[in-house]
Amino acid sequence: MKELRKRGIWDWSPPRVLSAGFVMIILLGGLLLSLPYASADGEGTNLLDAIFTATSATCVTGLVVVDTGTHYSVAGQIVIMLLIQTGGLGFMTMTTLFALVIRKRISYKERLILQEAMNQQSMEGIVRLIRKVIFYSLSIELTGALLYAIRFAADMPLGRAAYLGLFHGISMFNNAGFDLFGDFRSLTGYVNDPAVNIITMLLIVLGGLGFVVLSDLLHFRGIRKLSLHSKVVLSMTGVLIVTGAAVIFLFEFSNARTLGSLGPGGKVLAAFFQSVTTRTAGANTVDIGALRQGTVFFMIILMFIGASPGSTGGGIKTTTFMTLIGAAIAMMRGREDVVLFRYRLERGRIYKALTLTILSLGLVIAVTMILCTTEDRDFLRILFETTSAFGTVGLSTGITSTLTPVGKIMICLTMFAGRLGPMTLAYALGPKAEKELYRHPEGKIIIG
């Protein structure tokens, strides 16, 4: 047994535990969704399609190869809802919830894994943070479910409205984008409905801010101060949403297949909704496949940036993007330090942001090149699909259901890498890091 422990089989690092945990949940979910009881017709689902759906739900993405509302039975939809909840909060958070319920002590190793899962710098107060995460999440989801149910009750029986409210409350807060309205139409039937649009956008934004930011906001009245992290997240989120809405509004204003057929208020509402949903949510109120190429390319950029650290969303994250912008500005001004809101960032943070961006860009490029070979689709649609999978967004121009088996597998792997994060996956697959015993002499190369 000691020899096995030395080899690392029984002493996995936190990234490996997280990766293995997500794989187990996906495989279990895929198996459950492939069984006859989970499909509406009772004939079961192709195993690859079931695993694709389980991956999309666990990685809170929203890309689907079969229509969730018509293909799966209520039991299958409940499995998807549970996978979304587990994947959104993280399986270690769910495990901690059960441990707290039965009053089990959280071990040091479990705290290390929680620290990695929540992307925290230290273990200090990690269990307290998990309690807040669980409380905030359930409170927001239930509030969203109630508001949805009240609105849907005007169109359908109360029981059905309550069920749809619960499903979409969980799906939208976790930025999953799954819906039960059928025919792959998402929320297009509510494009002019202020209530559904506003409820959904609030859930998406709250889920994408990150639990640390939510905690800061809730305690702001008492301390009258926000952390640097919260300032960066809130400012960048606001800039991206407003900029995204403005660009989409201008580019699609005269497009009769998207915003062109809507009134002035509907155009503004739809523009903001499509901008917010690129925060890795995946719901849409207009036909994404009908957007102009300029809009599609701009949304690819927004999806690549994604949500914020410690949230239910994906992408390289708003803080990473802000750090890169700060580094570029500092370099252009001839300054050594990257300063955000009068705080200097340590070099390690800048290296990490650069590394994460390069790894993410490399992943998107590699998968896009493979899909361009296996799929008979134009380049921009494939790039959009790949970026949507990496950013765990779930938006699609309509090609997901027509993917080849190889294409489905590649998108599954991309969603998995996007949810865990390229760096976490690299740590999980790579050898254990060892401290360098020496430094090489400094060299100079010409840049630019």
Question: What is the band of 197 on the pLDDT scale with cuts at 50, 70, 90?
Answer: very high
Per-residue pLDDT of 43-61, as tens digits, reads: 999 999 999 999 999 999 9
Show the domain range for 423: 13-428
Q: Is the pLDDT of residue 241 over 70?
A: yes
Please state the rounded mean pLDDT for residues 421-435.
67
Question: What is the band of 12 on the pLDDT scale with cuts at 50, 70, 90?
Answer: low
Q: Is the pLDDT of residue 6 over 50?
A: no
Q: Is the pLDDT of residue 372 over 60?
A: yes
Counting Cβ atoms within 10 Å, is residue 413 exposed (0-12), middle (13-18) or buried (19+)?
A: middle
What is the rounded CA–CA span in Å between residue 447 and residue 341?
A: 29
438 vs 176, more confident: 176
Q: Is residue 150, in this structure, part of any structural domain at all?
A: yes
Q: Is residue 438, in this structure, part of any structural domain at all?
A: no
Q: Is residue 213, in this structure, part of any structural domain at all?
A: yes
Percent of the chain with pLDDT over 90: 63
Q: Is residue 282, in this structure, part of any structural domain at all?
A: yes
Whose tokens are 């956008």? That residue is: 201
Q: Is residue 277, in this structure, part of any structural domain at all?
A: yes
Q: Is residue 234, in this structure, part of any structural domain at all?
A: yes
Range with the poorest average pLDDT among 72-81, 355-364, 365-374, 416-425: 416-425
Q: Is the pLDDT of residue 4 over 50?
A: no
Q: Is residue 442, in this structure, part of any structural domain at all?
A: no
What is the rounded CA–CA span in Å between residue 272 and residue 275?
A: 5
pLDDT at 216: 85
Please state the rounded mean pLDDT for residues 373-389.
95
CA angle 324, 420, 395 (to 5 degrees): 80
124 vs 182, more confident: 182
What is the rounded average pLDDT for all residues in the chain?
Answer: 87
Q: For the chain, what is the domain count?
A: 1
DSSP state of 188: G
What is the rounded CA–CA span in Å between residue 147 and residue 162?
A: 10
Task: State the DSSP string of 269-298.
Answer: HHHHHHHHHTTTT---SS-GGGS-HHHHHH
> CB neighbours of 339 closer than 8 A, spacing ≥ 6?
326, 330, 345
Q: Is residue 3, in this structure, part of any structural domain at all?
A: no
Q: Is the pLDDT of residue 212 over 70?
A: yes
Per-residue pLDDT of 94-140, as tens digits, reads: 555 555 554 556 666 566 666 655 555 556 666 677 777 788 888 99
Please state the rounded mean pLDDT for residues 141-168.
96
pLDDT at 122: 58
